[in-house]
Amino acid sequence: MAVRTKPYEDCLSQSWLAARLAVDPVELDVMRRDGELIAVRRPGSTEWLYPAWQYAGRTPRQVMPRLVRAAREAGLDDRRLYEVLTAPLGLGGHRRLTDLVVEGRDDEVVEAVRSAANG
């Protein structure tokens, strides 16, 4: 995966994503509130941004509800979960937990999210 240099550059706006998936933006909002997806906002913005890596094609990855549940149980909101998932792994690393999400290494990512809240 390419190195992320700007916050939220891996995200899609709610309006763009809704149009691309041919769903009502309200449906995306319901999925976010129900813990099926995460979304973040730029400081001072009211627009929700949805990380693209949480999708496999046109459907959310199966791990997303588990990740959101683990984060919420650990007291992490979506913004903090996004930060944990997109932070470089190791010193000077270019890989991120999002790479493991895409690779299907779900259990490792869920455990890392739980550990991040405790560490």
* Segment 91-119, tens digit of pLDDT: 777 899 999 999 999 999 999 999 987 76
Q: Is residue 6 part of a domain?
A: no
For residue 109, the model assigns a pLDDT of: 96
For residue 4, the model assigns a pLDDT of: 53
The ranges of the chain with pLDDT < 50 are 1-2
For residue 6, the model assigns a pLDDT of: 79
Q: Is residue 4 part of a domain?
A: no
Q: Is residue 1 part of a domain?
A: no
Q: Is residue 2 part of a domain?
A: no
Domain that residue 94 falls in:
11-118
For residue 11, the model assigns a pLDDT of: 96
Q: Judge whether 113 and 80 are in contact, CB under 8 Å.
A: no
Ramachandran category for residue 104: left, alpha or beta (phi over 0 → left; psi -120 to 50 → alpha) = left
For residue 1, the model assigns a pLDDT of: 47
For residue 119, the model assigns a pLDDT of: 62
Q: Is residue 81 part of a domain?
A: yes
Domain count, the chain: 1
DSSP-H helix ranges across 9-77: 14-21, 25-33, 64-73
